[in-house]
Amino acid sequence: MIKVSVNQELCQGAGICESICPEVFELIDDEIAQVKMEIIPEKYEVACRRAVDSCPAQAIRIEE
């Protein structure tokens, strides 16, 4: 089980995370990402890790 969070101070709002895993990430006001759930179901883990790797601002953090 993993937890995911977005550091909204760092987020640049490009929305890459949302396009990779819209079940977990969403953009608020088209500018800042937020997570829709704190604890991530296993089926979304791979996509979440991909979002972490793809975020240009290194704003997404995973806690194992």
The footprint of ligand SF4 (CB under 6 A) covers: 6, 11-17, 33, 55-57, 59-60
Q: How far is the CB of 15 from ligand SF4 (least distance, A)?
A: 5
Identify which of residues 13 and 62 has a Cβ nearer to ligand SF4 in the complex: 13
CB of 46 to ligand SF4, least distance (A): 16
* Shortest Cβ 42–ligand SF4 spacing (Å): 21
Torsion sign, CA atoms 58, 40, 23, 50: positive
The contacts of residue 59 (CB under 8 Å, 6+ apart) are 6, 7, 8, 10, 11, 12, 33
